[in-house]
Amino acid sequence: MPRVNSERAQALWRGIVDALRGELSSLVIDTYIEYAKGVDVTDSAFVLCCENTVAKEWIERNRREYIEKRLSAELNAPITLVCLASDEEAREYVAEREKPDGSSFSSEFTFENFVVGGSNRFAAAAAQAVAQGSTSSYNPLFIYGGSGLGKTHLLYAIANAYRADDSGRNVIYVRCEDFTNEFIETVRVGHLRSGREKEFRDKYRSPDLFLVDDIQFIAGKEQTQEEFFNPFNTLYEAGKQIVLTSDRPPKDRARLDERLRTRFESGLICDVQPPELETRVAIVKNKAASLGLALSDQVVSYIAENVTANVRQIEGVVKKLQAFAALLREPVTVTTAQQAIGDVFTEKMPPTADVIIDECERFYDLEPGSLASKRRDGKTARARQVAGYLMRVMPRMSFPEIGRALGRDHSTMIYAVEQIDGKRKNDPQLDTDIKDLMLNITNRQ
Ligand code: ADP
Ligand code: MG
């Protein structure tokens, strides 16, 4: 079991911070460096947990080389810096590393606890056929649909079924994003460490079952698509089973390599839709039973009727109710369910760019439409920077997305977000304004 080496990582990081103090202003240290923590150090990587996304990006852009050079010299091996953007990501990283058998898929998702209804019947049946190995014509199997509708659940279920029959077949599950990152890292250190690239290629050529989650992350990344195509094709031609998930069908994917698209379309494509009422009722019951929570029929219907978009939210509500029930020590009523639904929605739904723009324009007393307009007076410019900052920290939009929402290019928005992030720490008025705005925005939902 790989062990996380956090003490050593933290000690190394303190050394780097001390060295950086000599060359960076205390403002920069305070804003980006001081609150980062060393999470882990391996023989080829150093994992750093940054305070937030902005700090992570600053460090990656400005001090990556410096840090890698220093660590490589100190540890006498080429070290890659891996930055995480929150404590939550750090916890996930640690949990992943310390999993007992190093597997990266969870055994709690199975076909048994997947509720089948009209919205997912086809996908579930195809997944089951693939898991039983009873067909070779569903290759690749491509499952698409919105977030929280059970795509990952089905992938895990296939993997778990494959594993359970212990024929020694080799399963690889990979989130497309991780594959991409792993690939980039391999290329980055490839020229330093020969063998690393071969290792990467060998790894992705060996499985009998290859599961790739959230393939949408590959769109537009040409080199990664190229790299992905090779193992994909090798496996495909060797008759190995491949299952892919995506948020949209292949034909809707602009910026997807034509060869990949053709391959994806050559097998079976099926979708998962939001569950209909009956299925939602079954899911609520199922989830409550698995948590040992008793719910009246009235409460079950209330939840099923009011939480309609996705299964993840249904689960969130049932979990919340379990917590309430444990706290209040009384049976769950429709009123409690109402409150749980309210909580889950405000927690889960990030505000949209439009709401943020609207609230900033009101707050700063600007005409609607000012922020995305060409106006450059001081008040508008400041409000625009704040809006960009809020889009970054609340719905965590990417800089190009923020730029599009505000009619600016992405580098302007990187600068704007940095400005506000830096100023907030020394300008109590700005800090209060931002907190008020956040409250207004959250209350809008
Ligand atoms: P996706 O990958 O499509 O975003 P997930 O597979 O992660 O969604 O599903 C989100 C949550 O909802 C998971 O906890 C999953 O177990 C649960 N879930 C989704 N669909 C079903 C279903 N049909 N029956 C039971 N649980 C489901
Ligand atoms: Mg998923």
Q: Exposed, middle or buried by CB within 10 Å (0-12, 13-18, 19+), for 157?
A: buried
The alpha carbon of 145 and the centre of ligand 1 are apart by a number of angstroms equal to: 11
pLDDT band of residue 163 (cuts 50, 70, 90) is confident
pLDDT over threshold 60, residue 110: yes
The alpha carbon of 88 and the centre of ligand 2 are apart by a number of angstroms equal to: 18
Helix, strand, or coil (residue 10): helix
pLDDT band of residue 294 (cuts 50, 70, 90) is very high
pLDDT, tens digit, 9 for 90 and up, residues 44-82: 789 999 988 889 989 999 999 899 999 988 888 778 888
Point out the ligand 1 atom lying closest to the alpha carbon of residue 116: 23
Secondary structure letter of residue 247 according to DSSP: S
DSSP state letters, 310-364:
-HHHHHHHHHHHHHHHHHHTS---HHHHHHHHHHHHHHH-PPPHHHHHHHHHHHT
The alpha carbon of 151 and the centre of ligand 1 are apart by a number of angstroms equal to: 7
pLDDT, tens digit, 9 for 90 and up, residues 330-373: 788 999 899 888 877 765 467 889 999 999 998 898 989 999 99
Of 172-181, 234-243, 271-280, highest mean pLDDT: 271-280
207 close to 242: Cβ distance less than 8 angstroms = no
Secondary structure letter of residue 76 according to DSSP: T
The alpha carbon of 393 and the centre of ligand 2 are apart by a number of angstroms equal to: 23
DSSP state letters, 121-165:
HHHHHHHHHHHHT--SSS-SEEEEE-TTSSHHHHHHHHHHHHHHT
Q: Which residues have a Cβ under 8 Å from the Cβ of 90 and sit 6 or more positions away?
A: 37, 39, 47, 49, 84
pLDDT, tens digit, 9 for 90 and up, residues 225-270: 887 887 788 888 888 899 999 988 888 776 778 888 899 999 999 9
> Which residue owns the Cα nearest ligand 1 atom 21?
150
> Which residue owns the Cα nearest ligand 1 atom 9?
150
- Point out the ligand nearest to the CA of residue 271: 1
- Point out the ligand nearest to the CA of residue 149: 1
pLDDT at 199: 74
pLDDT at 49: 94
pLDDT, tens digit, 9 for 90 and up, residues 126-142: 999 999 887 778 999 99
pLDDT at 1: 41
- Assign residue 66 a region (left: φ > 0; alpha: ψ between -120 and 50; beta: otherwise): alpha
* pTM for the full predicted model: 0.60
Determine which helix (DSSP H) or strand (DSSP E) holds 241, and give its type and residue range.
Answer: strand 241-246
276 close to 119: Cβ distance less than 8 angstroms = yes
Of 116-130, 162-176, 398-412, highest mean pLDDT: 116-130
Strands 141-145 and 37-41: unpaired
% of the chain at pLDDT higher than 90 = 43
Of 67-81, 83-97, 304-318, highest mean pLDDT: 304-318
> Which residue owns the Cα nearest ligand 1 atom 6?
150
* Best probe residue, ligand 1, of 105, 106, 149 (max atoms within 8 Å of C-beta): 149
pLDDT, tens digit, 9 for 90 and up, residues 375-429: 999 999 999 999 999 999 888 888 889 999 999 999 999 999 999 998 988 898 8
- Point out the ligand nearest to the CA of residue 151: 1
Protein residues with CB under 6 Å of any ligand 1 atom: 109, 113-115, 120, 147-153, 283, 311-312, 315
pLDDT at 246: 92
The alpha carbon of 214 and the centre of ligand 2 are apart by a number of angstroms equal to: 6
The alpha carbon of 322 and the centre of ligand 2 are apart by a number of angstroms equal to: 24
pLDDT at 103: 44
